[in-house]
Amino acid sequence: MRNSICYTLSYVMVAFACALHGTSKGFSLKVDDTDLDRGDAIPRQSYSRILEKSTPAVVSVTTQQVVKRMYPTIEDFLRRYYGLPRVNEPNVKEENVPVGIGSGVIVTPEGHTITNAHVITDPRTGSLVEEVLVQLADKIEYKARIVGVDRSTDVAVLKIDHGEPLPFVTLGNSDFLKVGDIVFATGNPLGIGKTVTMGIVSATGRSELKVLDEKGSYENFIQTDASINRGNSGGALVDAKGRLVGINTAIISQTGGSVGIGLAIPVNIVKKVLTDFVQGGELRRGFLGVSLSMVGTANSGALVEGVIPGSAAEKAGFESGDLIVSVGNEKVSSANQLRLAIAQTSPGTRIPVAILRNEVKKTLFVTLELFGKPPPIPGISLEPLSSENREKYGIPAQTRGVVVKKSSGEAETFKEGVVIVEINGYQVNSIEEVTAELKKGINRFYVWYRGKYRFLAYRVP
């Protein structure tokens, strides 16, 4: 029987990063990033005093969708039976229908709350739910508004507007976690109410598990044997000091129940999402501008396959074949680790990157750009020409330009595989050159598509 990965969210019915509204006013985040004392000590008889610090901040999260239902009258039945036309408007009522039950954890006294993105997503449609209810320790439910959602990490930020200071948990430093550290998983498993289970850190840095459905997601999970079940999604993973070190998100199981392989998102990833949404209203990730080989290398590191023209990497002097071995003070062991390290760094940050080039170690300094910045042509995703897309679309070797990777809406004039060769009479060989040559209003494009060259006129807003 194959292993399956289960989100720990209880759905009531069978059934990516977007900022909604956030403010930096009233944001009292408490962080304690000191390491644990791992000296030889007498085992504790109880952790109740430590858990008293964190468990009041763990909440139950219930989601609802508004649906319209028709309630026919007796007259409606009779008219339908005799084949008569309807004379009145149908009796339609809006109702709140439960979608799912999960958990969350309050991280500021002002009511900022962390949960999983999938907890507040309708599994039937993939869209965010219309109403989120949070039940506090006093058993009273409050409406929570969605501040921001990052599907690439499965983190969502909520805000409970309570009016009074709320119990909250102190954030720890997940980078200090070691295998064998004691941790506690707190949440609302199976909807039975707040529950605490105990275990240890079984592993850190778990990736390539394909837990997150979102393309381009960042997986770097803490693995624990603390019992996690459906309904625990979004709940707290705390250390022996009662500090939040992770957000419970999924289990690996053949049965759908806990078998001792639970996964949690490290709190250091959560911090980035939380502070960006609350203080800036949007998620801002760093972007280097290289394509990486996913094939293992003889040396630990991330192998550069290509460099995007005009990107931060090209400006810093990166070349195809470079092996990236460290970013800042962090050693790089894989392509996934490099992606996460860059994503966790804010755009505009200048960082040293150590590389091996022809077995010679060099340090390049790069100023990261903003990941996911708006495309030069709305609705169109572009990419530089490469051997892969030349082969995929049959693009001749002599053709130069940039390739349309994807288009939507009015921009579907530019189909996938179109090569933009010129804009307004000027040759373009990079996305930056496309941006430079575009003007508002009508632009004249010279393109290649399926063996033919032609001109297109297209209005850019």
Catalytic residue among 54, 103, 118, 174: 118
Residue 332 neighbours by CB under 8 Å, 6+ apart: 300, 301, 302, 324, 325, 326, 338, 341
Topology of domain 380-460, CATH: Pdz3 Domain (2.30.42)
What pLDDT is stored for residue 8 in this prediction?
Answer: 61
**Domain 286-370 and domain 380-460 have a common topology:** yes
How many CB atoms within 10 Å of residue 302? 25
**225 in catalytic set:** no
| Residue tagged active-site, from 233, 253, 258, 291 | 233
Q: Please state whether 209 falls in left (phi above 0), alpha (psi between -120 and 50) or beta.
A: alpha
Residues 6+ apart with CB under 8 A from 407: 379, 380, 381, 413, 414, 415, 416
Which has the closest alpha carbon to 104: 138, 136, 152?
Answer: 136
pLDDT at 83: 73
Centroid of chain to Cα 423: 35
Helix (H, G, I), strand (E, B) or coil at 342: helix
pLDDT for 446: 95
**Topology at the third CATH level for domain 286-370:** Pdz3 Domain (2.30.42)
Q: What integer pLDDT is reported at residue 460 of this predicted model? A: 82
Q: Tell me how long the chain is.
A: 461
Q: Would you call 154 a catalytic residue per the annotation?
A: yes
In the prediction, which pLDDT does 16 show? 39
**Does the annotation mark 161 as catalytic?**
no
Determine how many CB atoms are found less than 10 A away from the CB of residue 193. 12
Question: What pLDDT is recorded for position 13?
Answer: 38
List Cβ neighbours of 8 (8 Å cut-off, separation of 6 or more).
102, 187, 189, 228, 229, 230, 231, 232, 233, 235, 248, 249, 250, 251, 262
Q: What's the pLDDT tens digit per position in 114-173?
A: 999 999 988 877 777 888 999 998 888 999 999 988 988 999 999 998 889 999 999 999
Stated pTM of the model? 0.72
With DSSP H G I counted as helix, E B as strand and the rest as coil, what are the percentages for the chain, rounded to 5?
15, 40, 45
Residue in 122, 150, 154, 181 annotated catalytic: 154
Domain boundaries, given as residue ranges, for the chain: 1-37+47-280, 286-370, 380-460
- Residue 37 identity (one-letter amino acid): D
Q: What does the pLDDT read at residue 259?
A: 84
Per-residue confidence (pLDDT) for residue 371, from 0 to 100 = 86
- pLDDT values of the chain reduced to their tens digit, one per residue, 461 residues: 335 566 665 544 333 344 454 445 688 888 888 888 776 666 677 889 989 989 999 999 998 876 656 656 676 666 676 676 766 666 666 666 667 889 999 999 999 999 999 999 888 777 778 889 999 988 889 999 999 889 889 999 999 988 899 999 999 999 999 999 999 999 988 888 889 999 999 999 998 787 776 667 888 999 999 999 888 899 999 999 999 999 999 888 777 777 889 999 999 999 999 999 999 888 899 999 888 886 655 558 899 988 887 889 999 999 999 999 999 989 998 888 899 999 999 999 999 999 999 989 999 999 999 887 666 777 788 888 877 788 889 999 889 889 998 877 666 778 899 999 999 988 887 776 787 788 878 999 999 999 999 999 988 87
CATH node for 1-37+47-280: 2.40.10.120
Q: Which of 100, 98, 211 is nearest to 151 (CA)?
A: 211
Number of H helices, E strands in the chain: 7, 29
Read off the tokens for 319: 């070349």
